[in-house]
Homo-oligomer: A and B are copies of this chain.
Amino acid sequence: MSIKYAILGLLHYKEMHGYKIKKRIEANFGHMWSVNFGQIYPSLKQLLEENMVTMKEVRIDGEKGPDRKLYSITETGKDEFARWLAASPEREMLMRDPFIMRFVFFGFGDRERSIELIEDRIALYEAQLSERRENYEKWRNHDIYVRLVSELGIRLNELFLEWLKEARAEILEDQGQVEGGAVRAAIMS
């Protein structure tokens, strides 16, 4: 479970509570790796049992909400993290886009609707891109690795946008669309 290691990594910077960890992961890996509370709290519990972290409950008087559980990384946690960091990544990149999954079959559907869906995506990625560019300004003075990942996110976003716009143009030009995909079925067999 990589989430455990993400937590251990973040705790290298400073002690944090669960809610903050989630926000941090989303800020660092936004649109690249999301987490749910359903994962983060049980992970912290496990890390605690494994002596990778310690926890102290703090009552913050001036502040809102329940007691916060501040987690800190232990030496054991640091060792285990270092071991993980130097190891080869366990698995390949996983990239699943339900939109792309649809896209590949757009030949069997209605072209107008396909164009609509593509335009929805363009709008979405445009919003995401400005978000990422804003975030970049915040991360650019941090360490080189955080900055580089942030740059990768922006470049990926730009690539998707470019591709979507080119795809839209090509589809609009394309005269090969035949109802029911009969032509394609013949080619594809």
Q: Tell me which residues across on chain B come within 8 A of A189, comparing CB atoms.
A: 13-14
Q: Tell me which residues across on chain B come within 8 A of A84, comparing CB atoms.
A: 102
Instruction: Tell me the number of copies of this protein.
Output: 2
Q: Which residues 97-139 of A have a CB within 8 angstroms of B? A: 97-110, 113, 117, 120
Residue among B93, B110, B113, B170 making CB contact with A97, cutoff 8 Å: B93
If the complex has contacts A86-B109, A88-B117, are A184 and B13 also in contact, measured as CB distance less than 8 A?
Answer: yes
Tell me if B170 and A104 are in contact (CB < 8 A): no
Bound: A146/B183 CA distance, A: 14
In the complex, residue of chain B having the shortest beta-carbon distance to the beta carbon of A146: B104
Q: Which residues 151-189 of A have a CB within 8 angstroms of B? A: 151-152, 155-156, 159, 163, 167, 170-171, 174, 176, 181, 184-185, 187-189
Bound: A143/B171 CA distance, A: 11
Q: Tell me which residues across on chain B come within 8 A of A110, comparing CB atoms.
A: 86
If the complex has contacts A14-B185, A144-B170, A159-B156, are A5 and B93 also in contact, measured as CB distance less than 8 A?
Answer: no
Q: Tell me which residues across on chain B come within 8 A of A12, comparing CB atoms.
A: 105, 108, 181, 185
Residue among B31, B113, B151 making CB contact with A163, cutoff 8 Å: B151
